[in-house]
Amino acid sequence: MEIERHEYDVVVIGAGGAGLRAAIEARQQGKRTAIVCKSLFGKAHTVMAEGGAAAAMGNVNPDDNWMVHFRDTMRGGKFLNNWRMAELHAKEAPDRVWELEAWGALFDRTKDGKISQRNFGGHEYPRLAHVGDRTGLELIRTLQQRVVALQQEDHDKHGDYEAYIKVFAECTVTRLLKDGERISGAFGYWRETGNLVVFDAPAVVLATGGIGKSYVVTSNSWEYTGDGHALALLAGANLINMEFIQFHPTGMVWPPSVRGILVTESVRGDGGVLRNSNGERFMFNYIPEVFKDKYATTEDEGDRWYTDQANNRRPPELLPRDEVARAINAEVKAGRGSPQGGVFLDVSSRLPAEEIKRRLPSMYHQFKELADVDITAEPMQVGPTCHYIMGGVEVDADTGAAAVPGLFAAGEVSGGMHGSNRLGGNSLSDLLVFGRRAGAGAAAYVDSLPARPKVTPQLVDEARAEALAPLERSGENPYEVHHELQRTMNELVGIIRKAEEVREALEVVEKLKERVRLVGAAGSRIYNPGWHLALDLRNMILVSECVARAALLREESRGGHTRDDFPGMNPDWRRKLLVCSTGDGSSITVAEQEQPPMRGDLITLFERDELSKYLTDEEMATFDGIAK
């Protein structure tokens, strides 16, 4: 059968916030741009984002500015962040939010008519621009509307709505194509018909989101099988920070069919508190040394903070997510959990029922419809859920360029920005800031090329054979292999890790690699979910191996990586990045790489005492030199 072909300047894989913002930018720079997405257009994780987009606009507290946001982000990531990305993000996020407003986004307002901003864990001031608890929906709606507006302009100019920007929905990319060292396109299949498709393009922007489906308990939906991470690896790019996975502290724990579904942090941001089975607000017992001076030590002070932030410290329910998730895990393990194996999250005794319904409408409906719980009258039961990967494609901070010429990445699939732990709300702003930069980077790269790289027929043949192979076998069941992988990652490379368990996980992964080679899918190419899963398994296994190998090597606990056998942070490890790559496309190599030291003007934004908790003595000596 003929393979369908399309030619573009830039192909953006993914239609979440990062992909759409990148595509808009590439089109605005005059590039013919394709947006390819695995699910329906408009269905991406970005749509599910509830809490808001973090941007230091200072609308609610005028003391906020990019420097405070930068500091909070670095603290949240335990100083392992790519500081240049954290700087660009903090400086540019307000412009990206205002730009959304100019494109038609309707944010909630303050009394004096500015964009309202809410509190979130780890953010010193109210900073999340939001639309109730449906911010992601508004963000995607606005970006899609912008795409349509550009298509209307193109129609007026060229007589064709899709002359410069076209969406290919329900189309999964399975391989990136190269001409020598350079990107020359992408190969995929239509989910509905199973027909194959090649995109010829000198630049590809990966914006494929996360990897949550490698774990059993996750807030992620079916698309999040680490495709972009694997596509990048297989094309020769590097992944960094893969050991850092964010387990969101509050996922639903009951009923089993909805286990893992997210309970937004806005519940705590708006006053909700965590209690154990003894009714104790246990987070006061879990304030780590590095945050001791920043969090309230009594319930009274924590409660006063909601109305008077100048004179009180935040309640510890608003510690960064890694801290809260570990605390919940410890309470459950100590036998102080709720009946269904979580803890209690109570907003019912903290806000009037009408206020809860107004501020948290989705949460109200989610619990009512899925668990028959009325959150205005009783507490929710919640526990940690695999939510977000800090690790991803190693990119240039300014342009989103990966190590492979012509390959760019933005959003959750890229690594570095969030260090070892992402602050809530920093993803939506990350998508906008770095989506735009990656789109611009890709456009500039295309302009710089003397000649267009060509798609090599041999690579297309190989990609075709790989994609169709599961349909020609009747061996292993893909669902069984997937379940074993998910269970292994959840139990052995989950929220708390130890060397012998991670080694055991790697042994299982090795066996699963063999089994994946035999996975077969009965039936035809026409909408065949077993076949789709068989193809996704390659990606989940590659990514899981990266997570496990890096987790075994990093002998310290930091952010989203907790080692039972190495419980503390080690300043020497903060200076090291673990870089994953694959030579043969099957096994993963991990190498240590030195982090570039922070620029002088940024490092002096911190107090000496705080830095001494994270930096080596040698680094402190440099700081003392600069600060003097």
Q: Virtual CA dihedral for 620, 424, 296, 558, nearest 10 degrees?
A: -40
Q: Which of residues 421 and 426 has its CB atom nearest to ligand FAD in the complex?
A: 426
Q: Which of residues 136 and 557 has its CB atom nearest to ligand FAD in the complex?
A: 136
Separation between Cα atoms, residue 390 and residue 246, nearest integer Å? 7
Q: Which of residues 38 and 549 has its CB atom nearest to ligand FAD in the complex?
A: 38
Separation between Cα atoms, residue 171 and residue 34, nearest integer Å? 12
In the complex, least distance from residue 190 CB atom to ligand FAD, rounded to whole angstroms: 11
**CB count, 10 Å around CB of 159?**
8
Binding of ligand FAD by 227 (CB under 6 A)? yes
Q: Is 128 left (phi over 0), alpha (psi -120 to 50) or beta?
A: beta
Q: By C-alpha distance, which of 441, 440, 439 is closest to 23?
A: 439
Binding of ligand FAD by 425 (CB under 6 A)? yes
In sequence order, the β-bridge partners of residue 273 are: 346
Binding of ligand FAD by 46 (CB under 6 A)? yes
Catalytic residue among 321, 422, 554, 575: 321
**Residue from 48, 386, 455, 460 binding ligand FAD (CB under 6 A):** 48
**Residue from 73, 117, 151, 172 binding ligand FAD (CB under 6 A):** 172
Task: Provide φ and ψ at 23, rounded to 5°.
Answer: -65, -40
Q: Which of residues 367 and 623 has its CB atom nearest to ligand FAD in the complex?
A: 367
**DSSP helix/strand/coil, 184:** strand
Residue list 191-210, contact with ligand FAD (CB under 6 A)? 207-209
CA atoms within 13 Å, Cβ hemisphere of 56? 22
Binding of ligand FAD by 559 (CB under 6 A)? no
**Residue from 27, 31, 32, 45 binding ligand FAD (CB under 6 A):** 45
- The stretch near ligand FAD (CB under 6 A) out of 86-94, 405-413, 553-561, 620-628 is 405-413
Which two three-digit tokens encode residue 464? 């075709």
The DSSP output letter for 472 is G
In the complex, least distance from residue 182 CB atom to ligand FAD, rounded to whole angstroms: 21
3-state helix, strand, coil in the chain (%, to 5): 40, 20, 40
Binding of ligand FAD by 325 (CB under 6 A)? no
Q: Which of residues 219 and 490 has its CB atom nearest to ligand FAD in the complex?
A: 219
In the complex, least distance from residue 368 CB atom to ligand FAD, rounded to whole angstroms: 18
In the complex, least distance from residue 5 CB atom to ligand FAD, rounded to whole angstroms: 17
Residue list 566-605, contact with ligand FAD (CB under 6 A)? none
Say if CB 262 and CB 387 are below 8 A apart: yes
Residue list 255-274, contact with ligand FAD (CB under 6 A)? 262
**CB count, 10 Å around CB of 353?**
13
Active site residue 436: no
Position closest to ligand FAD via CB? 16
Longest C-alpha distance within the chain, in Å?
A: 71
In sequence order, the β-bridge partners of residue 592 are: 578
Binding of ligand FAD by 50 (CB under 6 A)? yes
Burial string for 221-259 (b: 16+ CB within 10 Å, else e) reads bebbbbbbbbbbbbbbbbbbbbbbbbbbbbbbbbeeeeb
Binding of ligand FAD by 383 (CB under 6 A)? no
Q: Which of residues 132 and 424 has its CB atom nearest to ligand FAD in the complex?
A: 424
- The stretch near ligand FAD (CB under 6 A) out of 58-66, 94-102, 271-279, 420-428 is 420-428
CA separation, residue 601 to residues 46, 143, 198, 614, 626 (Å): 34, 35, 47, 18, 9
Which two three-digit tokens encode residue 576? 């090291």
In the complex, least distance from residue 395 CB atom to ligand FAD, rounded to whole angstroms: 13
Beta strands in 392-451 (DSSP E): 392-394, 407-409, 414-415
Q: Which of residues 390 and 443 has its CB atom nearest to ligand FAD in the complex?
A: 390
- The stretch near ligand FAD (CB under 6 A) out of 101-109, 221-229, 277-285, 287-295 is 221-229
Mask for 94-133, x = binds ligand FAD (CB under 6 A): ----------------------------------------
Q: By C-alpha distance, which of 265, 213, 222, 214 is closest to 382?
A: 265
Say if CB 575 and CB 83 are below 8 A apart: no
In the complex, least distance from residue 209 CB atom to ligand FAD, rounded to whole angstroms: 2
Separation between Cα atoms, residue 564 and residue 577, nearest integer Å? 20
- The stretch near ligand FAD (CB under 6 A) out of 10-18, 296-304, 400-408, 501-509 is 10-18
Contacts with 215 (C-beta within 8 Å, 6 or more apart), sequence order: 386, 486, 489, 490, 494
Binding of ligand FAD by 138 (CB under 6 A)? no
Binding of ligand FAD by 214 (CB under 6 A)? no
Q: Which of residues 36 and 442 has its CB atom nearest to ligand FAD in the complex?
A: 36
Q: Which of residues 173 and 552 has its CB atom nearest to ligand FAD in the complex?
A: 173
In the complex, least distance from residue 371 CB atom to ligand FAD, rounded to whole angstroms: 16
Binding of ligand FAD by 389 (CB under 6 A)? no
Q: Which of residues 133 and 331 has its CB atom nearest to ligand FAD in the complex?
A: 133
**Residue from 8, 10, 11, 17 binding ligand FAD (CB under 6 A):** 17
**Residue from 8, 12, 39, 57 binding ligand FAD (CB under 6 A):** 39
Say if residue 256 is preceded by a cis peptide, omega within 30 of 0.
Answer: no
Which two three-digit tokens encode residue 567? 């419980």
Separation between Cα atoms, residue 52 and residue 105, nearest integer Å? 13
In the complex, least distance from residue 99 CB atom to ligand FAD, rounded to whole angstroms: 16
- Rg over alpha carbons for the chain, rounded to the nearest Å, is 23
Binding of ligand FAD by 49 (CB under 6 A)? yes
Separation between Cα atoms, residue 267 and residue 263, nearest integer Å? 8
In the complex, least distance from residue 18 CB atom to ligand FAD, rounded to whole angstroms: 3
Separation between Cα atoms, residue 418 and residue 254, nearest integer Å? 30
Q: Which residue has the tokens 């205002």?
A: 98
Interface ranges with ligand FAD (CB under 6 A): 13-19, 36-39, 44-46, 48-52, 135-136, 172-173, 207-209, 219-220, 223, 227-228, 262, 388, 411-413, 424-428, 431
Q: Which residues are marked as active site?
A: 321
